[in-house]
Each structure stands twice: as C-alpha cells, then as structure tokens.
Amino acid sequence: MTKRFARRTACLILILAAATCLSCNRTSAQSHVKKFYWVQAVRGHPVHRVTQAAFREGCRDLGYECEVIGPDSNDVAQTTALAEQSLSRGDAAGMCVWGSDPGLYRLIEKIAKKGIPVLIPHFPTDHAQIPDATGVVSADPEAYGHDCAMAIGGQIGGKGTVAITQANYNATENLLADSFTRAMHENFPNVKVMTPQLEGLDSVQAVAKASAILEANPEIVAALSTTGNLPPTWPGAGKQTGHQVISIAMNYTRLNLDAIRDGHMYAAVAQPLWEESYECAKLLDRASKGEKLPWWTKMPAPLITKENVDQYYRLMDKIDAAMK
C-alpha cells in the first residue's frame, strides 16, 4: 500500500512539473515576441502607405513582427486610443509614432516611460518637448527650404511674387516655410514672399484654395506647397484658372513625377519617406538592444527635376512592388 502511494505521488509530481515547465515555456515565448508598431493617423493616405510599406520591409529584414495601427481620420484622440490598446498587449519591442500633432506628445511620453523605445519619423521635434523619447528620423526642412528658395528664385529671375501653402501648422511645414522665406529674402531681395496660407489635406479643397489665391493675386509667378497633396495643388490651380506658375511640392509620388515630366510643375522635394521609415526599423532594433541613439538622425532630401526624374520612377516601381 505504501509503495503504491509512493508511485502515485511520484507520478503526480512529474505531471505537475511538466505542466509547470509548459507554462514557463509559454510565458517565456510570449515575453520574447519581437514586434514593432507603426502608429499613424490618416493611415490610408497614399503617402502614408509608402511609409508603412518601408517600415514593414525594414522589420521583415531584421526579423521583427510588425503592425500598423491608426484611424483613417486625423483624429488625435482616436489615434491615441488605438495605440494605447496595442501598448496594453505587452508585446511591443519598439514603436514609431507619426507625431505631427503636439497632441500626440503625451502618448509618446507614455510609451517611453514604459521603457519601450519610441521614435518620431519625419517631423523634427525639440528634445526638450519629449525628453524621454528615443529620437527623430527625418530630413532637415531648413536645408531643403533653402534649396527650394534658391531653385524658385533662379527660375523667376529674382523678381515677382511667390505664394506658400501648408497642409497645417506643424513643426516640419512651419520650419520649411520659414527657411524658404528667409533664404528668399537673403538671396533674392526683389521677390515678395506672401504669408503662408493653409490648403489642408483634401486635394479638391486645396486646389480651390490655391485657385482663389491666384485669382486674388494675379501677380503671383511661383508657389511652394509644403504638403504632398494628390494631385499636386498648384498645377491643379493653374489648370482651373489658366494661370500657370512655377511650383515646387513635396514627395516622390507618381502624380508629382508626371507633373514634373510633363512640365506642369518645376520640382518636388524628395522627402525621404521610404528611407526614413526603413531607417526607423533599424534604429528601433538598435535601441531595443540597449544602444544609445543620437536625438536626430538626418536624411537627405534632394530636389526632383526633369533632369533626375527617371531615377524616382524606378524608386516608385520598387515601392509599388513592396506595397502589393
């Protein structure tokens, strides 16, 4: 009887040990999930889809799982709520927050205070505003604002009136518009630069806004759009009003490339949407392993003109393939 009891007891101990081991293995596997998140409002916007595809490719190349989260609207509260739901899962090795709106700074700080590396792509941000965040990955709007001014100033012979339109007031577009205006005043003192006006993110409304500006100011000879609306704003306004101007917009979208190739737009800034988004995955990987990163990782943003437009068509072919 005693031997039978001992055998049963030993079997029970083995079963409990096996169950405990299985539970530990499951917990260990869950704790080692490597997943990066990309948080972005207006997630279906064509330009945003480029950034998401690049980030996914970077995660895949580095061996991380990846998830894109965000609403189709530009609602900060909804974006924050969706991000916090993902954060509560406990599987984030790192997060990127498309942080154009200061309303997202609280979310970024919340992520950082949990010890999760968090990067801000595309939008240069003062470190003092979000001291616990990991860093920023973007081009330098001040640099390419200067390049836009020099290009437009040269094209218009250093005289005339130039308009500026922005999607909204944010760190990147504000700095770009300020740098453009300053460089134009310093290098082309006979050019009048108008105060920036908002065109918004809806392309139809943006074209209507630019058309109204042209009709009220027939002396305008050139324009800078600091956003990447599709189709491009100022060529659309020129078509509506019959008043074509020399213009520069943002981003290497096919519609922008077509407008440059066909002579409807002078140039576009090759904001490094693909490059900076892919770089975010690489930097999150380094940060998640404990490496200290510089606050601002700067990426180049050259101008696209007729002379180099073909290389960006090839880049768009690569991007389209990655987005399928």
**76 with 97, same domain?**
yes
- Distance CA(324)–CA(305), nearest Å, equals 28
- Distance CA(267)–CA(234), nearest Å, equals 12
Instruction: Report the length, in residues, of the chain.
Output: 324
Residues 188-226 as b/e (b if ≥16 CB within 10 A, e otherwise) read beebbbeebeebbeebeebbbbbbebbeeeeebbbbbbb
**51 with 123, same domain?**
yes
**116 with 156, same domain?**
no
Residue pLDDT, tens place only, 260-272: 999 999 999 999 9
Residue 158 lies in a domain: yes
Give the torsion sign (CA, 131, 136, 141, 144).
Answer: positive
Residue 190 lies in a domain: yes
Residue 8 lies in a domain: no
**265 with 278, same domain?**
no
> Residue 213 is encoded by which pair of tokens?
């500006």
**187 with 260, same domain?**
yes
Over 90: is that where the pLDDT of 15 sits? no
Residue 27 lies in a domain: no
Residue 106 lies in a domain: yes
**222 with 281, same domain?**
no
Count the neighbouring beta carbons within 10 Å of the beta carbon of residue 72: 11
Strand order of the β-sheet with 118-121 is 65-69, 35-39, 92-97, 118-121, 135-139, 296-299
**134 with 283, same domain?**
yes
**82 with 39, same domain?**
yes
Over 50: is that where the pLDDT of 147 sits? yes
C-beta separation of 41 from 12 below 8 A: no
Residue 4 lies in a domain: no
Q: The domain spanning residue 186 has which CATH number?
A: 3.40.50.2300
**212 with 284, same domain?**
no
Over 80: is that where the pLDDT of 148 sits? yes
Helices (H), the chain: 2-31, 46-62, 76-87, 105-113, 141-155, 171-187, 203-216, 233-241, 254-261, 273-288, 309-323
Residue 16 lies in a domain: no
**171 with 265, same domain?**
yes
**92 with 147, same domain?**
no
* The model's pTM: 0.79
> Residue 2 is encoded by which pair of tokens?
């005693």
Q: Number of folded domains in the chain?
A: 2
Residue 12 lies in a domain: no
Residue pLDDT, tens place only, 18-75: 444 434 443 333 345 689 999 999 998 888 999 999 999 999 999 999 999 999 998 9
pLDDT score, position 160: 98
Residue 130: domain span: 32-139+273-299+312-323
**76 with 164, same domain?**
no
Over 80: is that where the pLDDT of 223 sits? yes
